[in-house]
Amino acid sequence: MAMKVQALRTPRVAGLVGIAFAVLLGAAIILVRAAIPSGAGVLTDTPLDTTSRHGVQTALALIPFAGIFFLWFMGAVRAHVGPDEDTFLATVLIGSGLVFVATLFGAAAAAGSLLATTDVTSAGDARAELSYFGQHFTYSLLTTYAMRMAAVFVLSASTVALRLGAFPRWLVLLGYLVGLTLLFVVPSVSLAELVFPLWALVVSLHMLVASFRSRPAGLRAV
């Protein structure tokens, strides 16, 4: 009985952590976007001001926890899908998830280096060139690499769920739409990367609801 209760509770806890991941990553993305300019004609060699630096520092404090929670979320997705997942797609799912976390941490390290190497000075200062480089490097890791690994994760998770019937069809279609957005839209549209934490939030809520619906009647009083 205790083993069955534990098996039921674990996906629920992991689903809650998935919600925490979505909230933390979404907040970190918004803070970084607000603090560090991006886009043609916007990205400049002007060092970060005090307000922007505080925003980046807050985002850097959130990202390590977002990465840790994502690992729990990835485990929750695999537990929800079940043991019959395709070996090939499961490998792609795990690999893309791990590379996403590594690249996300790399983007955070780049943003941290930007803070460490640029002081609040006027444009044209020697350190302004480091600021220009750091802004490019941070956004390249975040929007070009991390989000495209997130796209592979979403697409593979949706495909596995479709084959095994683990997600409803509307959630599978949403996953494919999110994956394509992360692949082709994110580098050119500001804040488009927020579709990933939003997808994770929806999936986590679905898994939580599904875990309660599948709870045996004899265990409801436990």
Express each pLDDT in 193-213 by its tens digit: 999 999 999 999 998 888 777
Instruction: Return the closest-CA partner of residue 104 out of 53, 133, 70, 73.
Output: 70
One DSSP character per residue, 51-117 reads: HHHHHHHHHHHHHHHHHHHHHHHHHHHHHHH-TT--HHHHHHHHHHHHHHHHHHHHHHHHHHHHHHH
3-state secondary structure of 151: helix
Express each pLDDT in 95-152 by its tens digit: 999 999 999 999 999 888 877 776 544 455 556 666 777 778 888 898 889 999 999 9
Instruction: Return the closest-CA partner of residue 104 out of 134, 138, 57.
Output: 138
